[in-house]
Amino acid sequence: MKSAFFINGLWVGPANGQTLPVIDPATETVIHHIPAGSAADANAAVQAARAAFDHGPWPRLTGHQRAQVLRAIAKGIRDRLPELARLEVRDNGKPLPEAEWDLADAAGCFDYYAGLAEGLDGAVEPIALPDPRFTAKAVREPIGVAGAIIPWNYPLLMAAWKVAPALAAGCCMVLKPSEHTSLTALELGEIVNAAGLPPGVLNIVTGLGAEVGQAIAEHPGVDKLAFTGSVPTGARLMATAARDVKNISLELGGKSPFVVFADSDIEKAVEWIMFGIFWNQGQVCSATSRVLVEAPLYPKLLERLLIEAQKIKIGNGLQPGTLLGPLVNDLQYRKVLAAIDRAVAQGATLACGGKAAGFETGYFVAPTVLTDVPLDAEAWCEEIFGPVVCIRPFDSEAEAIALANDSRFGLAAAVMSADTARAERVAAAFRAGIVWINCSQPTFTEAPWGGYKQSGIGRELGHWGLDNYLETKQITRLISDAPWGWYIK
């Protein structure tokens, strides 16, 4: 486990010597300390990235050359996957198979963007002009120094979603992982060094958002901010970015609906409803936390859901067979339990779940199902970010669409029906950036990821993710020898 920042290819301690404890959420024991960065550390990291961008080799390499390093990073993650996965579990709490899945995805993300980096070589777009005296072309260039600020729910995977496309584009960057889960992000420093990434291209600083995160966002040496996290922090960063008109992309929260029609297979519906809200303890931005079930199916489906939800094995993520680990930390644990209590106080019925029974230590919340949740209750409207699903019946397709879209968020939405035409119709009507038909949550590096409304601005993943880190330059050339003749006749 690393105890220093990764700046300019070296491991350096915090300027003020401060640290933050790392607590295993399953055992509540302190397993390590990470450096708590300050504005001085953020400045050192940005300066290193700035120098690497302005004077270093990375932005000047060909895409093919950068791709070799990206593939070596992917291999570096795969070579250490078992060890990194265990570290992720101890830091975040998630079950080991989920951590292994995340890390395989993170490695795949570097491989994918290696391919897109190669595609940048010679990528010149000729532009047809109506005036034969000129030719024009558009070229893509790295945007500069990127500041990437990420959350705690998928620690190394969220890092990969930003680092891989930024490096592919030729950017240099500063990465700030969440103060709650920094361990695997710090290991990435060692992996990129071994992969041959030049010093200063990727710098990693840890610490509190309000201190080191804010300092990165405010730094004039940063050209682009890429943020994943909560809506309030995203809004604050947008205001910060506005001061010097920084480019910013935002991947924020959600309260995503899952509409299940009565012609659905009940077992498949229950499986996907559970995958949509209990995977990663429900700490998933795209979690389908509002389930709408067509009335004729509702009683039977609810009965099956309650049976299956209560069978889910809760425990330390390192124990074989665990399907639901602890929440990430004490704060999140208290927030989620308080949200459940408020839901009940506002009229909801706790059909199952709440504080997990049988645990003396650890931040365990059982799979929770809330019924009869009033449409204006906080639990129906706001992101809880825990294993808590609200479920209610609906009578018509139009009602389901209206209920699904009645949210300030628009990250994801899901629909299940045996009627393909209906499923496609509802998918088209959803106001959300990510739509699943007959499933919930499967995510592919190749497909665009991001939200409508308050769920964010911009898209990650796929070629859309690379665009975040590229500028577009037009070059227009006069090819006619004839005098221009405006002033000099």
CB of 114 to ligand NAD, least distance (A): 22
| Residues contacting residue 240 through CB under 8 Å, at least 6 positions apart | 214, 217, 218, 246
Residue with Cβ nearer ligand NAD (264 or 454): 454
Binding track over 267-306 against ligand NAD, x by CB under 6 A:
------------------x---------------------
219 binds ligand NAD (CB under 6 A): no
- Residue choice 98, 223, 251, 397 for contact with ligand NAD (CB under 6 A): 251
Size of site (CB under 6 A) for ligand NAD = 29
CB of 277 to ligand NAD, least distance (A): 13
Residue with Cβ nearer ligand NAD (91 or 383): 383
Count of CA atoms in the C-beta half-sphere (13 A) of 442: 6
**Which element (helix H / strand E) includes 31?**
strand 29-35
320-379: contacts with ligand NAD (CB under 6 A): none
165 binds ligand NAD (CB under 6 A): no
Pairing between β-strand 247-251 and β-strand 224-228 as defined by DSSP bridges: parallel
CA separation, residue 29 to residues 25, 82, 208 (Å) = 8, 22, 20
User: Could you give the CA distance from residue 7 to residue 34 in angstroms, rounded to a whole number?
Assistant: 15
Residue with Cβ nearer ligand NAD (8 or 178): 178
**Which element (helix H / strand E) includes 185?**
helix 183-195
468 binds ligand NAD (CB under 6 A): no
Catalytic residue from among 109, 171, 285, 390:
285
Closest residue to ligand NAD, Cβ-based?
209
390 is catalytic: no
| Residues contacting residue 72 through CB under 8 Å, at least 6 positions apart | 194, 195, 196
252 binds ligand NAD (CB under 6 A): yes
User: Could you give the CA distance from residue 141 to residue 163 in angstroms, rounded to a whole number?
Assistant: 16
CB of 483 to ligand NAD, least distance (A): 55
**Among all chains, which residue has been given the structure tokens 């003020």?**
16
Contact between 121 and 64 under an 8 Å Cβ cutoff? The reply is: yes
Residue with Cβ nearer ligand NAD (199 or 253): 253
User: Could you give the CA distance from residue 67 to residue 117 in angstroms, rounded to a whole number?
Assistant: 6
CB of 332 to ligand NAD, least distance (A): 8
Q: Supply the angle between the helices 81-92 and 63-79 in degrees, to the nearest 10.
A: 70
202 binds ligand NAD (CB under 6 A): no
- Residue choice 6, 53, 110, 152 for contact with ligand NAD (CB under 6 A): 152
CB burial of 373-383 (b: ≥16 within 10 Å; e: otherwise) equals: beeebebbbbb
Catalytic residue from among 100, 251, 294, 383:
251
| Residues contacting residue 472 through CB under 8 Å, at least 6 positions apart | 138, 139, 140
User: Could you give the CA distance from residue 178 to residue 262 in angstroms, rounded to a whole number?
Assistant: 41
227-246: contacts with ligand NAD (CB under 6 A): 228-230, 233, 236-237
Active site residues: 251, 285
The footprint of ligand NAD (CB under 6 A) covers 149-153, 176, 178-179, 209-210, 213-214, 217, 228-230, 233, 236-237, 251-254, 285, 383, 385, 411, 451, 456
